[in-house]
Structure 1
Amino acid sequence: MSNRIYVAIDTPDLARAKAIATRVRTHVGGLKLGLEFFCAHGAPGYREMAALGLPIFLDLKLHDIPNTVAKAVQALSPLAPAILTVHGAGGRAMLEDAKAAAPTGTKVVAVTMLTSLDASDLGATGIAGSAHDQVLRLTDLACEAGIDGIVCSGEEVGAAHARWPKGCFVVPGVRPAGGSVGDQKRVVTPRAAIDAGASILVIGRPITQAEDPDAAARAIAGTL
């Protein structure tokens, strides 16, 4: 992939989503559509965005019993997203069934730990150890399940890549040097994430909320 930036289009406003994507399309490698967009517009909205000609990362973080997730993936198959997320905490059987149900050409990647969480949040849910430990546990599980990769923060991607050299590593929570971190707790710069082994960078507000989104995307791409 020549451009590893997927811009996060996190808005329920279809016109705004299309306007942002149209402005940045020559300086990003793809679009990330998440729950906010998909709950508002579903498959028809997805198709309108896909018509812009960029690969789509469909970030729905599916997490349920294996059969339900497999059927959900099958229902999404006509959209043929480039990347689709499930939750690693759903377990090996769920990951295996999600991958088996995905269409050829769709990478299934497991969310390990949201970048809005840290060790204290893990402890509150009864999970012992650090964020780093949890990400590596789920990295091993994803690899063993035969899916394509994981989603993790830039703080853990180096260690995860060392354990799974052939995996696909999607890194959200990426912020340019000096940028606002917002509601993210574990962030790195785009260059640092790539150097550590990131395959894809998911960048939202630093691009979408910039005065000139295209210039912001171009500037970030220039650092990679």
Structure 2
Amino acid sequence: MDKPFIVALDFSSKEEVRSFLQLFSDTSLFLKVGMELYFQEGPAIIDELKQRGHDIFLDLKLHDIPHTVKRAMKGLAKLGIDLVNVHASGGSAMMRAAIEGLEEGTPPGMKRPRCIAVTQLTSTSERMLHDELLIDRTMNETVLHYATLAYRSGLDGVVCSAQEVPFLRASLGASFITVTPGIRFADDQADDQVRVVTPYEAKQLGTNYIVIGRSITKAHNPYAAYERLKREWDGGQ
């Protein structure tokens, strides 16, 4: 997990994935498998991607009672994934259960998958937080509170907006990793994301990993878009 770029496989079938990955036959990627793809293809897609030499973030955002989450994580740990997540709003008992399940399910000799917690989705605005979710704190206060719960529950990090990374770093330290979606090139549309930044801005804000999907997968030339991503991360154009 030394690659800072996580490419979201925004596809619904293994055929689409294979077609996309043909463009990167000489590159080991860090790939995000979300609900759309996993629910269509199941664990077999994870095995195929691992055999191709890619790192995997299994983005299922588990949120259930502690017992259920523990048993689910115990099963997921056997897949050889590198990163998995839960919703921090499930509470500290659920997050601790997630770690217990991962530890129990990880095969001998293998490293436990890292587990991170979603604080607030990057599609959530301040207005939605107050009017629909009925949370009366600011976005920053809410994110920090959820991140602190995750930290105290033994998780490895959080999913958050890159805009929130600096104050999380200041409160929780540099070893608590941040994974930040909502990444767009400056000339892209934000689509359904609200709290978005460019790759270079994300690096300047101090995040560990950025998740980028449609800006790569829907590009006319995905390989060229990935190369652009690397240049912008390093400060180039």
TM-score after normalising by structure 1: 0.95
Aligned to 1:111: 118
- In the TM superposition, residue 80 of structure 1 has moved relative to its aligned partner by 2.0
- Residue 223 of structure 1: SS of its match in structure 2? helix
Question: Which runs of at least 4 in structure 1 moved beyond 2 Å after TM superposition?
Answer: 24-29
Query: C-alpha separation between the residues in 2 aligned to 1:25 and 1:188?
Result: 29
For residues 163-183 of structure 1, the C-alpha deviation after alignment (integer angstroms, 9 at most, x for no partner) is 122101000010112221111
Query: C-alpha separation between the residues in 1 aligned to 2:28 and 2:123?
Result: 24
Query: C-alpha separation between the residues in 2 aligned to 1:21 and 1:137?
Result: 38
For residues 18-73 of structure 1, the C-alpha deviation after alignment (integer angstroms, 9 at most, x for no partner) is 22233246567400000000000110122122222110000000000011000000
Q: Which runs of 5+ in 1 are unaligned?
A: none
For 2:203, the aligned partner's letter is: I
Q: Which runs of 5+ in 2 are unaligned?
A: none
For 2:122, the aligned partner's letter is: T
1:51-66 matches, within 5 Å, as 51-66=51-66
Query: C-alpha separation between the residues in 1 aligned to 2:180 and 2:25?
Result: 20
Query: C-alpha separation between the residues in 1 aligned to 2:86 and 2:25?
Result: 26
Query: C-alpha separation between the residues in 1 aligned to 2:118 and 2:138?
Result: 16
Out of 162, 174, 178, the position equivalent to 2:187 is: 178
Query: C-alpha separation between the residues in 2 aligned to 1:28 and 1:50?
Result: 10
Matched, 1:11 2:48: no
Structure index of larger Rg: 2
Query: C-alpha separation between the residues in 2 aligned to 1:113 and 1:168?
Result: 16
Call closer, same or farther: CA 1:198–1:161 in 2, change over 3 Å: same
Matched, 1:128 2:166: no
TM-score after normalising by structure 2: 0.90
Call closer, same or farther: CA 1:36–1:67 in 2, change over 3 Å: same
Query: C-alpha separation between the residues in 2 aligned to 1:97 and 1:62?
Result: 11
Question: Is this contact kept in 1: 2:96–2:153, CA < 8 A?
Answer: yes
- In the TM superposition, residue 2 of structure 1 has moved relative to its aligned partner by 5.0
Compute the RMSD of aligned alpha carbons. 1.5
Query: C-alpha separation between the residues in 1 aligned to 2:219 and 2:208?
Result: 24
Aligned to 1:162: 170
Question: Is this contact kept in 2: 1:5–1:28, CA < 8 A?
Answer: no
1:23-172 matches, within 5 Å, as 23-24=23-24, 29-102=29-102, 103=106, 104-123=111-130, 124-165=132-173, 166-172=175-181
